[in-house]
Structures are given as structure tokens and as C-alpha cells.
């Protein structure tokens, strides 16, 4: 996959993936069902992140999940336990070392969050066991202490693997301009 620093190239790479047309009606139905399951998986991801239901969220991942943050952030983590630690207490390291860092994780945990995801492009590989998606998102955060709001945008490039007949996230590349969101600056 293209270097994560180039969001547009990574998204266009997904758009350029091709799928072999289904040869039979059964294959066509399976492709539609797989695409719908992946679409629902992406929506579940957003809702579970907003609710901070980390155990339920981690159930959506393969054991070897890799998450890479790009855009204004820089971070790479592999494995559910390492990811759990960063979900519970996000570090959100900035790509620009001189940039103002995020508030403490304890403050971030108080924000009400709403992920708005849209424009997904899903490509299912010929093996029927792996898939890739490009998804745009916007995140709105509200600080309940003073009702300040902040918003930032980004994109996801998700990789999926079918495990025992169930689609799971195997890799997440998250392009974010989080550092520009006023609520995510200390």
C-alpha cells in the first residue's frame, strides 16, 4: 500500500482496485452480502468508538490488527492489547514535533463524540476472504463542561479479513487532521 503520508494516493489506490465480475448468481449474492457486512462493520466501528465500548470494538478486529495514524498525527500499533491501551488512553502524537499536543487522555475521555462516515468504496478481493475500503469521515466532539464544539475530517483505508465466516478489520490507516480541531489541542 502507498505510504500513509499521502492520503489522496492511498484513497485512489483503493479506487483503482478491480473486482472480477461474479460468474454465477450465487457469487453475485455472496458479493452483495459481503459488501453489506463490511459496510455494517464500518458503521459499528464508528458507533462503538463514539460510545467508547472498547471490548465490543476490539471484537471487530483480527488478533494481529494494525492501526496506523497519518495526516497531522503519527502512530503505528499492532495487536489488540497494544491497541486497547491507546484506545483507553490516547496519545495522539503529532506529526509536527513543534505542534501543540492534545489535552490529557482524562480530558479527552469526557468528550461526547460523533463519527459521521460516508462515501465508502469497498473492493472485495478475488479470494473472497480479504477486502479493502476507502471511507471519508468527520468527527464532531463536544466538551460537556462548557459545551464547546470542535470538528475535524479525515479518511480511512480499511483492510478486512474473513475469519470463520465473519469479516473483521485487519488493518486501519486513519488519515486525520485531528491536530487542527480546537478541542484536541491542550
Q: What is the pLDDT of residues 29-85, one digit of tens each?
A: 999 999 999 999 999 999 999 999 999 999 999 999 999 999 999 999 999 999 999
Task: Decide: helix, strand or coil at residue 13.
Answer: helix
- Residue range 104-154, pLDDT digits in tens: 999 999 999 999 999 999 999 999 999 999 999 999 999 999 999 999 999
Selected residue with higher pLDDT from 175 and 6: 175
* Banded model confidence at residue 100, pLDDT cuts 50, 70, 90: confident
Burial classification of residue 166, based on how many CB atoms lie within 10 Å of its CB (0-12 exposed, 13-18 middle, 19 or more buried): exposed
Q: Is residue 3's pLDDT more than 70?
A: no
165 vs 24, 97, 128, 129, CA distance in Å? 20, 43, 10, 9
Strand ordering across the sheet containing 148-163: 75-78, 61-71, 166-176, 148-163, 130-143, 112-124
Give the pLDDT mean for 87-91: 93
Enter the C-alpha cell of residue 6. Answer: 499521502
Res. 87 pLDDT band, cuts 50 70 90: very high
- CATH number of 7-184: 3.30.70.100, 3.40.640.10, 3.30.390.30, 3.10.450.50? 3.10.450.50
What predicted TM-score, i.e. pTM, was given to this entire model?
Answer: 0.92
Amino acid at each position: 500500500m502507498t505510504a500513509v503520508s499521502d492520503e489522496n494516493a492511498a484513497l485512489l489506490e483503493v479506487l483503482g482496485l478491480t473486482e472480477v465480475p461474479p460468474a454465477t448468481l450465487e457469487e453475485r449474492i455472496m458479493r452483495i452480502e459481503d459488501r453489506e457486512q463490511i459496510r455494517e462493520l464500518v458503521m459499528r466501528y464508528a458507533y462503538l468508538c463514539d460510545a467508547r465500548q472498547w471490548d465490543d470494538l476490539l471484537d471487530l478486529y483480527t488478533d494481529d490488527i494494525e492501526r496506523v495514524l497519518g495526516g497531522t498525527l503519527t502512530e503505528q500499533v499492532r495487536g489488540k492489547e497494544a491497541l486497547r491501551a491507546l484506545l483507553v488512553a490516547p496519545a495522539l502524537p503529532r506529526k509536527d514535533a513543534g505542534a501543540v499536543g492534545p489535552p490529557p487522555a482524562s480530558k479527552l475521555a469526557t468528550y461526547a463524540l460523533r463519527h459521521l462516515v460516508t462515501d465508502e468504496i469497498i473492493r472485495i478481493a478475488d479470494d473472497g476472504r480479504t477486502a479493502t475500503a476507502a471511507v471519508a469521515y468527520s468527527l464532531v466532539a463536544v466538551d460537556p463542561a462548557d459545551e464547546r464544539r470542535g470538528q475535524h475530517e479525515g479518511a480511512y483505508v480499511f483492510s478486512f479479513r474473513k475469519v470463520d465466516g465473519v469479516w473483521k478489520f485487519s488493518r486501519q490507516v486513519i488519515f486525520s487532521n485531528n491536530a487542527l480541531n480546537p478541542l484536541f489541542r491542550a
